[in-house]
Structure 1
């Protein structure tokens, strides 16, 4: 069986937790709950977590599929260097973010999900995983041969070059001597 990549699970869990925290914060602010300031914090924290977690990291196998439109956020997340690529930092960050949202009912579910994502990130960090960005590859097209100097003379399918008949123009100047001379009288 293959090795589990915990960071991929943590990324999906944290993104979902950010969306749940954002939704709970909106409900808390719009419903004018008591201590709605915690709900406003939930909105800000949910947006921050979603922006941080939206760019998917590269898998060890190399079979990563990037999310639609993640390139801009990948560049931003990559710019912060070890603060965003180290999973120990992410685990502590998510654990710290989820605490204030636990004081209000609409944001509790998002905070619990974020705490679970923090635990999964800690597991990924202990196993030595690290976030690496998925950047588009620049593929260079290498041409075989030097190019086409002269267009083909024969219609397809063409036999290989060794089997083709030589044209008379190509044979001019070639010194070819027939080893068996044949005269008309012998025929």
Structure 2
């Protein structure tokens, strides 16, 4: 069995928790809950986490499906270098961002999910995983001579390949074209 890439799981978990934290923060601020300031923090933290986690990392083996518009945010994540690439840093960052969300009911679910993402990122870091951008590989352009095959010699409908071979042998032996339908004089 192959190795599990824990960072992929952590990325999905952290992205979902950022969105949940954002939603809970909006509910707290809009409802003017007691301690709504923690809800405002949840909105800011949710937006930050969502933007950080939106770009997926390249997998070690196989292909990685890039998210829509990921290349723009991946360039920003790539710009910060080891600060955003290292999963130890992400684990500590998510654990720290999760703490203030636990003080108000509407953001607790996002906080718990972010704590789980932090644990998964820590596990990914222990296993030596690191965030790598998905780079498009240029596909080699086919040459014109390689793509054009010999054009068909007979107009459609064409007989099956074995009948064509048989006809080609008869033509080479007889020197002319043989009519496959026998002609009768019953007219």
* 2:108 corresponds to 1:104: no
How far is 1:71 from its partner? 1.0
5+ unaligned residues in a row in structure 2: which ranges? 154-187
Structure 1 unaligned blocks of 5 or more: 158-187
Q: Which has the higher helix share?
A: 2
1:72 maps onto 2:77 in alignment = no
Distance in 1, Cα, partners of 2:38 & 2:152: 74
Change (3 A) 1:155 1:93: closer
Question: 1 CA distance for matches of 2:73 and 2:108?
Answer: 27
CA distance in structure 2 between the aligned counterparts of 1:14 and 1:155, rounded to whole angstroms: 55
Residue 6 (structure 2) aligns with: 6
The 1-side partners of 2:107 and 2:84 are apart by: 24
Spell out the pairing of 1:19-168 with structure 2 (5 A cutoff): 19-141=19-141, 143=143, 156-157=152-153
Equivalent residue, structure 1, for 2:170: none
State the number of aligned residues.
154
User: How far apart are the structure 2 equivalents of 1:3 and 1:14?
Assistant: 21
Cα deviation digits, residues 116-165 of structure 1 (max 9, x gap): 0000000000000111011222234263879x9xxx9x9635xxxxxxxx
CA distance in 1, matches of 2:99, 2:59: 30
Q: Deviations over 1:67-92 (max 9, x none)?
A: 11111111111111101110000000
Task: Name the structure 2 match of 1:177.
Answer: none
Larger radius of gyration: 1
Query: Could you tell me how far apart the structure 1 residues matched to 2:116 and 2:152 are?
Result: 64
Deviation at 1:37, TM superposition (A): 0.8
**How far off is 1:10 after superposition?**
0.2
What is the Cα-based RMSD across aligned positions, in Å? 2.3
C-alpha distance in 1 between matches for 2:116 and 2:74: 23
SS where residue 102 of structure 1 aligns?
helix
